[in-house]
Structure 1
Amino acid sequence: MFGYGKMANYAIASLSYLAANYDKEGFKANSQTIATARNLSRPLVGKLMSQMSTAGLVNGTPGPGGGFFLSRPPSDITLLEIVRLFEKVEEALMCPFGPGWCGNGDPCPFHYELEDKRDEMMKWLEETNLEVFTKHPIKPEKGWCDTAAS
């Protein structure tokens, strides 16, 4: 796999909500608000926000009126930084022919193409930051991303 998994995707979705609201003075959102806006479960968002707080991506304030907010401007947080919290992105690709094929003699027929795709994905993750979400709706209309859920 040269993409990223569900947890990284949910983390990006959660932070996209905070990025979309970043320019609002004093904006904070609790786990329930983020979960509702991104159609995720509150416990999942709470767990993700805790991990991202420990990593320094978000700050939070407890209690009524509290919530989470980005610790840095959206332009300073790359998708790679988020994905690395949940994926081992630097690991070599698993050979589609199974363990023990690549690295023992000639590489499989997909080896170089998969390496190129992985490099492209890494570059995209490194060059793309949360600022991209500041230009999109905070909560898209129903049906906006129906194809992504399929």
Structure 2
Amino acid sequence: MKILSRACNYGIRALIYMVANNGGQENTSIGEISEELDISFHFLTKTFQELNRANLLKSSRGPNGGVALTRPAADISMMEIILVIEGDDFFDTCLLGLPDCGNGAPCPIHEVWKDKKDKMRLEFETTSLADLGVRVSEDKMRITI
């Protein structure tokens, strides 16, 4: 089951790659990330543009160019990334996509999803990019297909 969009999935994986490989503060080539994670270069570039506009990433051109985090990875939560890419209403939408789903007119999954998304929201707020980078670099968890 997928809850996050492809753009969000790719963005998070790419940022984790950067953090696991160099802490995220040094420039990393988008081409390298694209190749290593088997993500379309153009799709990844568009996703990075959103993160750049939100001031999570900075980019530079030239032979040593690439993208880097604007802040330490420990200061960037998963929640911040998700809200940039998915939108501020990500946790307010119905899992079934029904308009006006809520306590007054709930869908059949409303109560179950409400409980789960509250727990997910807390986890995303308290998990940093640094936490995820450690899981890849030290715990050898995977981010590639």
Report the TM-score range of the alignment, normalised by the length of the smaller protein. 0.7 to 0.9
Q: Secondary structure at the match of 1:59?
A: strand
- Residue of structure 2 in register with 1:16 after alignment: 16
More helix by share: 2
Determine the structure 1 residue equivalent to 2:114.
Answer: 115
What's 2:70 paired with? 71
Q: Which residue in 1 is equivalent to 2:40?
A: 41
Query: What one-letter code is carried by the residue in structure 2 that aligns with 1:9?
Result: N
| C-alpha distance in 2 between matches for 1:104 and 1:134 | 38
Do 1:5 and 1:87's aligned partners in 2 also have CA atoms closer than 8 Å? yes
- Tell me the distance in 1 between the aligned counterparts of 2:111 and 2:47: 34
Separation (CA, whole Å) in 1 of partners of 2:54 and 2:12 = 14
Q: Which has the larger radius of gyration?
A: 1
Contact 2:60 2:66 in 1 (8 A): yes
Moved more, 35-44 or 103-112: 103-112
Structure 1 residues 2 and 116: alpha-carbon distance in aligned structure 2, compared to 1, 3 A threshold: farther
C-alpha distance after superposition, 1:26-82 (max 9, x if no partner)? 731121011112121111121111211111111111111111111111111111111
Q: 1:18 to 1:105 in 2, by over 3 A?
A: closer
Aligned to 2:92: 91
Deviation of the 1:123 alpha carbon: 1.1
Structure-2 separation of matches of 1:10 and 1:61: 20
Q: CA distance change for structure 1 residues 33 and 111 in 2, over 3 Å: closer, same or farther?
A: same
Tell me: CA distance 1:106–1:58, structure 2 relative to 1, closer, same or farther (3 Å).
closer
RMSD between superposed Cα atoms in Å? 3.1
Q: Which runs of 5+ in 1 are unaligned?
A: none
Identical counterparts, % of pairs: 29
Q: Would the aligned equivalents of 2:95 and 2:109 in 1 still touch at CA under 8 Å?
A: no
Return closer, same or farther for 1:91/1:74 CA change in 2, 3 Å cut-off: same
- The letter of the residue matching 1:93 is C
Q: Contact 1:22 / 1:74 at 8 angstroms: preserved in 2?
A: no
C-alpha contact 2:74 2:128 (8 A) present in aligned 1 = yes
Q: TM-score, normalised by structure 1?
A: 0.77
> When the two structures are aligned, how many residues end up with a matched partner?
141
Q: Which moved more, 1:105-114 or 1:6-15?
A: 105-114
Please report the TM-score for the alignment, with normalisation by the length of structure 2. 0.79
Alignment check: 8 A CA contact 2:78 2:128 kept: yes
The unaligned stretches of length 5 or more in structure 2 are none
